[in-house]
Structures are given as structure tokens and as C-alpha cells.
Amino acid sequence: MAGNRTVWRNAKIATCNAQMLRFEPGALITHDDCIEWVGPEQELPVASPAAQRDLQGRWVTPGLIDCHTHLVFAGNRAGEWQQQLCGATYEDIARSGGGILSTVRATRNASEAELFDAAAARLECLLEGGVTTLEIKSGYGLTLADERKMLRVARSLGHHYPVTIRTTFLAAHAVPPEFAGRSDDYIDVVTDQWLPALFCEGLVDAVDVFCERIGFDPTQAERLLSQASRLGLPIHLHAEQLSNIGASQLAARHGALSCDHLEFSAPADVEAMARAGTVAVLLPIAYFHLRMTQLPPVEALRRAGVPMAIASDCNPGSAPSPSLQLAMAMAARLFTLTPAETLAGVTRNAAQALGLHRQRGMLAAGCQADFAVWDVRELEEIGYWLGRNLCAMVVRNGEIVTAGGSRLKLFVRDGHSSDDAGVRSP
């Protein structure tokens, strides 16, 4: 068979399949951009001549998947963080005109090039930390032109960097100033005009709604989700982060890929998600940053068999961190997830949350050859160490895209490194 074949040997393999199989020592064979074989090294099949890569006994996992980010934005909300430290709540700040709307103002004033450069710096942190696939939401533009601008930047990041990006339309993130007091009118415009237009332009892979007391109610969300269904678009939902107004039940009725946050979910919500096959996406950095005390119902999710994913939620207001490894560490410490659950949460279950579970999130024959190589003795060290990047190498589509530990070099798609070429804006 023609093509580039590589044998990756002398490794410890964590497949992250349903059985969480491990091979010590293990090996992989990649053929072009796919995995051809994975298993114990002593069972390596006799194959045609191939390049050989010695991984020096390191652990190998699937490339990590960050299934919930707001990576494209301008400015920051450090001043609001100071208000929170002095006792103001996230809802207090939002109702006074801050919160999401303060980032909207900054994002509207930024050019595509400025947004690209700011997001690229955050993206590089994720990639260096082992992430090969991520989702990026819009929702800080809240006009057709500015939502388009955000989604164009997200697409451009995927063009310039060795990463798979899924875009999510989140114009129902907040009511913009132009529609103050007219949230129903805003939802009508978003549903009837903006979503169809941006979908036809090829900028939208999925739809999300911030279904909360300070966002949009279930009736309003239903209109937008119904339009998404008519267009054949998958659905996510910001659900039960600050209150419970029925978001998970709505998401389950629409067969949503995921419900995200879930701190205020009730037993009936968990049961509905289990019946619908919806993934629970846990966002521990936001929980930590907002100093929340209401925990998501992890034990109920376990008992019901609801897959749990973990994501960074990287955003300026509630999760100012482009580190999925930190999210894993916090999920273990704050939400009591086991090391196996945290690893599944950023691989197999995160892939399912994005509808990519047949292609990514596992090391198995036929899957994309996306994997991360870790400089650890024990697999459980991923999520144990705090503030230290343990990723030694990232392979995407069968090609090494980062390597070298602290001297990591990130390669943009055309093969030039950021060290010598710079990051080009769209």
C-alpha cells in the first residue's frame, strides 16, 4: 500500500477506548493520517518498510480534545475579577452592564487580525499542552457582522495551525444593547436571519444557547434549537450553571450532543440526559474562578451512565486559562473524578461531545493519527502535577507538530515554525 507508514515503538499506550485498555510496552503504526495498528509491542505485525520512531518508554494518549472554549475574544475582565474578590457575583456584574457585554464591546472594536493574534497565543498554549482538537464558540459579537468576524477567525486558526477546530454559533449568549428589553426580537433575528446566513457561508458546525436567568429562557432557546435542527446542525447548551430553568430537559428533547456546566442539575435532568445520550461537559476552571459552592451531580451522572467530558471553557470572564491539563487537575480535586475519568473526559468523551467519536478520542485502528506523548513515569501524573506542562510531543495526522519539552516549537500548517515565520493573521 502506498503512503507514509511509521512505526512508533517503545511506548506505553493508553488507548482511551471504552475498556481504557493499556499496552506496556506498546506500539502504534500510522499510515498517512490514520492509525493502522495499535497493540503490545511484541505483537507488532510484519509490515512493509516504515520509518521508526523510538518514544523512549513514554506514555502515549490520544490527542486531547477541548470541547468547550470561547477562545476568540478581545480584552480581558481583570477589573471584574477584582469586583468578584470584593463580593460581587457573576450575576451582579452582568446585570450592571458588565460581564459578557464588556467583552462584546472590546470584541466589536477589534479587527479580525487583532482577534486572530490574541486567540493564536491562547491556542498555542493548548496545542503545546497536547490538544489536537477543540471547539470555539462565537457569542462576543452579537451583531451579524461581528459574529461572522469571530467565526471567520476561528476557521482561520484551523487553517494556519495543526489542529482540528469545530465552530459553534453562540449569538444567544447575551442580549446586546441594541435589543435591550427586546430579547424575543433578538432571538427572532438570530434564528431567522443570522444562523441561516452564517450556516450557508460554511462558518457554523453547531449551535449553543446560554439558557439562564441572565441569558435566555427555554422558550426562546427552543426557537433557536428548532432552527438548528431544521438545518441539520448539532446542538450544545449552557445548562444549569447558575440556576435551573429547564435547560437540560430542553437539550435532551432535542438530542443535544452536550449539556455544559450543570452545577444546578436535578436528578430528572440527569435521567433525561442519559436517555438522550447527551454528554455532560464539566467546566471546573469556571467553577473555581467564580468561587462556586454548588457542585455538579457527578455521582448521579456516574450512576446513570452519562459520559462526562472536561473542558477548559477558556474565556475572559469565568475561566481565564488556556490549559486543559489544569482543567483535568481541577476536575479531580474539585469534582472527585478519578484519573481514568479525567483522561476519558478529555479524549473519548470529549470527542463524543463534539460528534467526533468515530474519528478521534481513541487510539484504535481507523482513527485519526492524533496523539500526545507525555514525559511521565505513571499515566496518573497527568492531572496530578499543577502548573507544569507534561506534554513532550504532539502528533497530528501522523506528523510531529510539537516536540522538545520546554523548548517546544509550534509549527503552522505550511511547515514553517512560529520561531522563524511568525503567526500570520487572516
Tell me the pLDDT tens digit for each residue of 147-170. Answer: 999 999 999 999 999 999 999 999
Residue 352 to residues 126, 233, 236, 415, Cα–Cα distance (Å): 19, 15, 12, 30
Q: What's residue 415's pLDDT?
A: 44
User: Using CA atoms, how far apart are residues 212 and 77, in angstroms rounded to an integer?
Assistant: 21
User: What pLDDT is stored for residue 53 in this prediction?
Assistant: 94
What domains are there in the chain, each with its CATH number?
Answer: 5-61+360-421 (2.30.40.10), 64-353 (3.20.20.140)
Q: Give pLDDT tens digits for 88-145.
A: 776 777 666 667 888 999 999 999 999 999 999 999 999 999 999 999 999 999 999 9
In this prediction, residue 193 carries a pLDDT of: 98
Helix, strand, coil percentages (3-state) for the chain, rounded to 5, are 40, 25, 40
Whole-prediction pTM: 0.93
Beta-strand pair 391-396/399-403: antiparallel
Q: Is 131 helix (H, G, I), strand (E, B) or coil?
A: strand
Q: Enumerate residue ranges in the chain where pLDDT < 50.
A: 1, 405-409, 413-426
Secondary element (H or E) of residue 393: strand 391-396
